Structures are given as structure tokens and as C-alpha cells.
């Protein structure tokens, strides 16, 4: 992985903490809308992390692939990810 590993790890740990909080909210039978807001907050963090990882991939792995014969493979991988993101 060529992205900012420290940033990615910090964000993932934050998401993990929020998921632990979500579990507690469900166990405590908290208000549904509050739980939903917390879920959206976790999703936002995961989107940011995914964006960081994909930026790193494009800026390093894909750029390097264009210097070799692997450009087509890397381009296909990125297109598959874009397809998945657009389905969500």
C-alpha cells in the first residue's frame, strides 16, 4: 500500500471506535435515528480511507504500471473499483 499508512491507520481505528460505540448503542436500545447518524459517520470515515487508498494506488501503482506492460491490468482494476463504487 502506497498511501499515507499513518493516516489510514488512524482513520480505521477511529472507525473501529465508532463501530464499538454503535454496538453499545444497539445494546442500550438507543434511538434509531441516533444509531443511523452514527452509522453514516462511520461510512464517511470509510469513504475517506478508501479515497486515500485509491489515490495512493493511482499515484504510485498505476503510474508505475504505465512504465511496464502492466498498464492494461491496472486500468482494468481501477475500472472495476469505479464500477463497484457507482453501484453503492
Task: Please report, for the domain that includes residue 36, its CATH number.
Answer: 1.20.58.1000
Rounded to whole angstroms, the Cα distance separating 28 from 66 reads 53
- DSSP characters for 7-36? HHHHHHHHHHHHHHHHHHHHHTT--HHHHH
Answer yes or no: are the C-beta atoms of 11 and 48 closer than 8 Å.
Answer: yes
Tens-digit pLDDT profile for residues 64-85: 898 888 889 999 999 999 999 9
State the Cα–Cα distance between residues 83 and 17, nearest whole angstrom: 29
Residue pLDDT, tens place only, 13-40 = 999 999 999 999 999 999 999 999 999 9
Domain count, the chain: 1
Q: Which of 60, 55, 59 is nearest to 81 (CA)?
A: 55
Query: In terms of residue numbers, what domain contains 74?
Result: 5-87
Amino acid at each position: 500500500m502506497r498511501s499515507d499508512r499513518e493516516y489510514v491507520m488512524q482513520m480505521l481505528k477511529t472507525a473501529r471506535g465508532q463501530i464499538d460505540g454503535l454496538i453499545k448503542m444497539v445494546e442500550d436500545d438507543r434511538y434509531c435515528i441516533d444509531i443511523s447518524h452514527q452509522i453514516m459517520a462511520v461510512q464517511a470515515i470509510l469513504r475517506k480511507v478508501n479515497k486515500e487508498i485509491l489515490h495512493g494506488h493511482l499515484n504510485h501503482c498505476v503510474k508505475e504500471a504505465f512504465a511496464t506492460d502492466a498498464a492494461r491490468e491496472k486500468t482494468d482494476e481501477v475500472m472495476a473499483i469505479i464500477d463497484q463504487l457507482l453501484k453503492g
